[in-house]
Structure 1
Amino acid sequence: MNPTAPRSDTRSLLVPATPSEVYAAIRDPARIARWWGPDGFTNTVHVFEFVEGGLWTLTMHGPDGKDYPNESRFVRIEPDRCFAIEHVQGHHFILTLELEARDDGTLVHWQQTFDTVEHYQAIASFVATANQQNLERLAAEVKRGIAAA
């Protein structure tokens, strides 16, 4: 058994695009600002040092009018294959997106792992909905980027 499974939200979505096209929407701070977060959120990216160990700070603006400051570190970057961050402000977690090339597009694997089962269980229903919306917003941004090219 995967020891992270009881404290992780894991999901996948097939995006009809190449891994390079998906990765382009992840590595660009202007594009990630458009899709990051659940439905109704907008983002202001302050720092985006897209290298392993680099800092990423942003403010998520909720549909409720509240601002949510976020700070993360990039812990794994493999062009066209993988992107992982450690979220260090507020809820602590590791988020990994892995890109798997398929004949009909790219399967995006999303795994958000919290430190404890208890922490994850306390917010699991919100996390599940938010992460699915994140993936769908990523797919829409990828489609937008392809159409603009």
Structure 2
Amino acid sequence: MTELPATHPERPTEPEAERTVTIERMIHAPREVVFEAFTTVDHLSAWWGPDGFTTSTRAFEFREGGEWVFTMHGPDGADYAEWIQWREIVAPERIVLLHGEHAGDPNAFDSVVTFDEVDGQTRVTLSTVFPTKQLRDTAVEEYHAVEGGAQTLAHLAAHVEG
């Protein structure tokens, strides 16, 4: 990720801790299996998203600088445009990504996904840093980001454990 200069007008002024949401789950599967499920479109399409959501992919290239362009279909019939750019990939340990509605989205947020091996299992930690505290609060309060993230990781667990 590119660090903005301390005096840059777009640099966040709130502390990172106030702009962050972290979700963690222990998954009963080897790290390489969990990492693969997070990095191939066929796997992602099977588990990505909170309860009741499905995903349709328009473009997918898993490499640093590559993009995943997709639509999330909500249980209420609403469609949500989504875009992810893979920023850093350290297989099978870590993925850094930028997630928004589209390329250039000013409200896009950075996420780091880590895959830690623990006695043959995998602890997945998803840490998301929003551009502002207000965007974080909106994601948590209006869009239920914590619950949705926990549900998404539960779907990942069910996918690789089943």
| Structure-2-length-normalised TM-score | 0.83
Residues 1:119 and 2:131 aligned together: no
Instruction: Determine which structure has more spread, i.e. the larger CA radius of gyration.
Output: 2
Pick the aligned partner of 2:37 from 11, 25, 46. 25
Assess if the C-alpha contact under 8 Å between 2:112 and 2:127 holds in 1. Answer: yes
Q: What SS class does the counterpart of residue 27 from structure 1 fall into?
A: coil
Aligned length: 142
Partner of 1:128: 146
Question: What's the CA shift string for 1:32-66, capped at 9, x where partnerless?
Answer: 01111111000011111100000110011110011
Work out whether 1:96 is the aligned partner of 2:120.
no
> Alpha-carbon deviation of 1:123?
2.3
User: Is 1:63 the counterpart of 2:83 in the alignment?
Assistant: no
Partner Cα separation in structure 2 for residue 129 and residue 26 of structure 1: 19
Question: How far is 1:104 from its partner?
Answer: 4.5
- Structure with the bigger percentage of helix: 1
Percent of pairs with identical residues: 32
Paired residue type of 1:130: G
What's the CA shift string for 1:85-115, capped at 9, x where partnerless? Answer: 1013264111221000111511111111110
The one of 9, 18, 28 equivalent to 2:21 is 9
SS of 1:33's equivalent in the other structure is helix
For residues 34 and 95 of structure 1, what CA distance do their matches in structure 2 show?
21
The runs of 5 or more residues in structure 1 that have no matched partner are 145-149
CA RMSD in angstroms comes to 1.3
* Runs of 4+ deviating beyond 4 Å: none
SS in 2 for 1:65: coil
Matched, 1:47 2:59: yes
Q: Deviations over 1:107-140 (max 9, x none)?
A: 1111111101111112214111111001101111
CA distance in 2, matches of 1:13, 1:134: 10
Task: List runs of 5+ in structure 2 lacking aligned partners.
Answer: 1-14
Aligned mates of 2:25, 2:59 — CA distance in 1: 28
Letter in 2 for 1:30: D
Structure 2 contact 31–120 (Cα < 8 Å) conserved: no
What is the CA distance between 1:6 and its match in structure 2?
A: 1.2
Q: How many Å separate the matches in 1 of 2:34 and 2:129?
A: 22
